[in-house]
Structure 1
Amino acid sequence: MSPSAGGLVVFLLSVQVIQSQDGWRVDYDQTGVCAAKGSRVVIFYNYTHPPGIDPSDIKDRFWFTKEKDGEPVDLRTDSEYSGRVKYECYSYSDSCYLIITDVREIDSAEYKLTLMTNKPGEKYTGSPGVTLSVTGLQVQVRRSDSTWLELTCHSSCVLSDDPEYDWYKNEEIIKTGSSLLVSSGSTDRYSCYLRGYWDHGSPAVYGPQRPSVSVSPSAEMLEGDSVTLTCSADANPAANYTWYKEHEDSPRASGQIFTITDFTAEHSGNYYCEAQNEMGRSNSTLRLITSSGKSGEFLHDRNRLINKQHLLHVYP
C-alpha cells in the first residue's frame, strides 16, 4: 500500500478548564483529547498572570507529563518526544498551543503547563491538565447473516461524532464509510484507516489460511504408543481448532493439539483439522494408518526401507 497523507486529526472534548492561584490562571480548551495513532495533536490554552507580573517576567512556558527529582521534565528535553514537540503562541497574545506529531500509544498521559518567571523558584502549574488518549484502530467482525459479515472500524476512545474511514481489501482501497459488508468465508484481507491518515491503519482481518499439521514424534512408531498432532493456521482474529475423523459427525477434539494415546489399527483413517474464526474456516487432512507385517518383511515408507512388525504411517 503506497498512499500517504498528512493533516490534523484531533478530536476534543469541548469543556473549558480554568485553574487559578494568586492571580495565575491557565485556561485549557479541553479536558481530554482522543487521537489516532500516528496523527498530530494540537492542545490550545490561554494563561493570565497576576497584575504585578510583566509579560517579560515570564521566562519560560513548557509542558510536562512526568517529574524528575520533584521537578517537571520539559517535553522538549524528554528523549521520548525528541523532534515531535513544538510550542507556539499567537503574536501579541497569551493564546498558545502545544503540538505533538506522530503520536504514539505511549504518549497517552496527562499534560500540564508550567509557567516560570525570572524570579528564582517562582512558577505556576495548571493542574489538572489535559488528558491525551492515543488509540489504534481495530476491525470488529459481526455476522450479518449466513452469507455476509459486517466489518466496523472502532477505537478505544471516541475520535469524533462521525469519523470517516477508508476500507482496504488486500491493500487496495475499495470504499469509504463507517462499515463494510463482505462475504463469509473470504480469504481476502480487510483493514480500515481514518480518512486522511493512511500511514497507521488497523491490523488486517482475514479468514484462516490452509492449516499446517505437525506430528510428534515424527519417526516411526509401534502400536500402543502415543501420537500428538498440532494444527496451526495464519488467521486474524486468531483461529479456533477442531479435529474430526472421516465419516464421523462428532468432533474428536478441540484445540490446537490432539493427542491419541495407545494408537491401534482402529485409530487408522483420515483426520481433519479445521481452523475457524469469525471470517471463515479452512481445513487440512492428515492420514494415519498402521501396517502389520510378518517378521522379517520390509515395508516401504517414503523411499526408506524399515523393518518393523507394526508401523504408524503419516500421510499429510
Structure 2
Amino acid sequence: TVVQLLPSLPSLFIHLKAQTWGVEYASKHICAFKGSTVEISCTYTYPPRISYKKTVVQREFWYAKLKDKNPLDLREDPDYAGRVTYRCSEQSCSLRISGLRLNDFAEYKFRFETNQPDGSFTGKPGVSLTVTGPRVQVIRSGLELVCHSSCFPRHHLSFVWFMNGQEVQGETSDYYRKPVSPEASYSCSYQGHRSPEVYAPKSVSVSMSLTEIMEGSSVTLTCSCDANPPAKFRWYKNNQTLLLEDQSLILRSVQRSDSRKFHCVAENELGELASDQVFINVEYPPETSSVSVSPSAEVLEGSSVTLTCSSDANPAAKYTWFKDNRTLLSEDKVHFSSIRSEHSGNYSCKSENKHGQSSSTPLLLDVQCKFRLWFRDLGFL
C-alpha cells in the first residue's frame, strides 16, 4: 500500500500562497464618470508567522501620492476630504471614492503594515482609474455629432440628445442624425451623465494690453470668445487678412502709421463669428510746430491777415501765441480783420499736449503803410 504523504496540488498552492506577501486587485483598470462613485477592492496575503512570531496587521490603507517620500493615506489627503471610505475585513479591503473629479485620475495602491520587521507590503502596480464623462465630438466640419466616452461599454447603448438645453425626441443613437445648426448648442447624456454643450463661437471681443498707446511702445491685442470646441483665430487690419492665427496679436514698437482698425474672427467646427473693430490710436507729443501767414504776399495796413500755428500731435495740441516773447493768446490762429502798423513784430507759437510741447521759430510780421508803398512805387522813397 502506498501512503500519500504530500497534500493535493490545490491545497499546496493555497498553503504556499498564504506564506507569501501579496496584494491582488479585483481589477487593474477602472473607468468611471465624473461625479459618480467608484469602488476599488483587493485581497492580500502575508505569512501567518515568521520565526515563531505571529503576524499582526497594524495598518492598512490606500494611497495615490507621496508626502515627504512616504505614502499618503487617502483619508488624510485634502484633495479627497469627505469623499473616501474604506471597508476592510480579514485580508481584504475596498476603497470607495464618491463625487469623482477629473483630477482623481491616478494609480491607486493598497498598502498594509504588520508587526514584523520589514513587514510592510504595497501592491504594485496599482489600479489605474480613469475619470471622464460623455462629450460630443464634432466631425466632418460640423455636419455630424457623436456622443463619445472611453467609459462607454461596448454593447448597445441608449443616449439622450439635447439642443439648446431641450431634449430632442427620437434621438437615442450615439450619432445625432438631425441637421446641425451653427446657431444652436448640443449635448448628450448617458445614464444621467450629461456632456458639456458644444456650440459655435459667441461673444467674440478684442481687448488691448494698454489703454494709452504711446509711439514706440508695444501693445498686445487678445481675441476672446466663448466656444466649445475651442476656437481658432484670424486677425484683420483695416479688413485685410494678417498672416497670424494666434489668439494674441503683438504690435511691437508701434508707429503713428499703425493707427488702424483691427478685428479678429473666432472659428471652430460649428461656425465662426467676427469681433467688433477696435482702433489703435497711437499717441505722440507735438512735433514741427510752425507759423504761417495768410495771405502770404506783403502785408498792407488795413488788410485782413491770419496767422496759423500748426503741428503734428496726437492728441491734438493746444496752442499759445507770443508776440515779441510776450504771451498773446491761446488759440490756434491769430486773426486781424484790419491790421495796423503797431501789429508788426515777431510772432511765435507753442504747441502742447499731455505728452510734451514744441515751439515754432519766430515769424517777423512787417505791416506796410499803403501811402509809403505808393510813394515808393512813384520813386519818392
Fold shared, TM-score > 0.5 on shorter chain: yes
Q: CA deviation at 1:125?
A: 2.0
Partner of 2:167: 173
Contact 2:85–2:96, Cα closer than 8 Å, also in 1: yes
Cross-structure match for 2:270: 279
Which amino acid letter does the alignment assign opposite residue 30 of structure 1? S
* Shift, 1:26, TM fit: 1.9
Residue matched to 2:101: 104
CA contact (8 A) 1:85 1:99 kept: yes
The offset of 1:60, in angstroms, is 3.0
- Given residue 227 of structure 2, which amino acid in structure 1 is its aligned partner? A
Work out the percentage of aligned pairs sharing the same amino acid. Answer: 38
Q: Show the counterpart of 2:146.
A: 152
TM-score normalized with structure 1 length: 0.61
| Distance change (3 Å), C-alpha of 1:166 and 1:60 | farther
Task: Give the RMSD, CA atoms, in angstroms.
Answer: 4.7
Change (3 A) 1:177 1:97: farther
Local SS of the residue matching 1:27: strand
TM-score of the superposition, structure 2-length normalised?
0.52
Structure 2: gaps spanning 5 or more residues: 1-16, 213-218, 280-307, 310-316, 319-381
Q: What SS does the corresponding residue of 2:267 show, helix, strand or coil?
A: strand
1:7-55 deviations in Å (ceiling 9; x for gaps): xxxxxxxxxxxxx795233221221112222221111222233243899
Of the candidates 234, 242, 261, which is equivalent to residue 241 of structure 1?
Answer: 234
The DSSP-based 3-state class of the residue aligned with 1:103 is coil
Deviations 1:242-270 (A, max 9, x none): 54978xxx856654759898869xx99x9
Alpha-carbon distance in 1 for matches of 2:65, 2:18: 21
Q: 1:196 aligns with which of 179, 192, 198?
A: 192
Contact 1:244 1:251 in 2 (8 A): yes
Q: Please state whether the residue corresponding to 2:49 is helix, strand or coil.
A: coil
Q: Deviations over 1:270-306 (max 9, x none)?
A: 9986443210123467699xxxxxx99xxxxxxxxx9
> How far apart in 2 are the matches of 1:216 and 1:106?
33
Specify whether residues 179 and 261 from structure 1 end up closer, same or farther in structure 2 by C-alpha distance, changes over 3 A only.
Answer: farther
**For the Cα contact (< 8 Å) 2:231–2:266, is it kept in 1?**
no
Residue 78 of structure 2 is matched in structure 1 by: 79
Give the 5 Å matches for 1:11-50. Answer: 22-50=19-47
2:201 to 196, 208, 219: 208
Structure 1 range deviating more: 58-67 or 28-37:
58-67
Q: Which has the higher contact order (CA 8 A, sep 6+)?
A: 1
Structure 2 residue 114 is the aligned partner of structure 1 residue 117: yes
The residue type paired with residue 120 of structure 2 is K
Q: 1:21 to 1:181 in 2, by over 3 A?
A: same
> Is the contact between residue 45 and residue 97 of structure 1 (CA under 8 Å) also seen in structure 2?
yes
Q: Which amino acid aligns with 2:143?
A: L
Offset at 1:177?
3.4
Asked whether the 8 Å contact 2:234–2:241 carries over to 1, the reply is: no
C-alpha distance in 2 between matches for 1:215 and 1:116:
59
Partner SS for 1:192:
strand
CA contact (8 A) 1:210 1:283 kept: no
SS at match of 2:103: helix
Q: Which amino acid letter does the alignment assign opposite residue 104 of structure 2?
A: D
Number of residues paired by the alignment? 261
| Other structure's SS at 1:208 match | strand
Q: Which has the higher helix share?
A: 2
Are the structure 2 counterparts of residues 214 and 235 from structure 1 closer, same or farther at C-alpha, using a change threshold of 3 Å? same
Alpha carbons of 1:73 and 1:218: their partners in 2 closer, same or farther (altered >3 Å)? Answer: closer
Cα deviation for residue 154 of structure 1 reads: 3.3
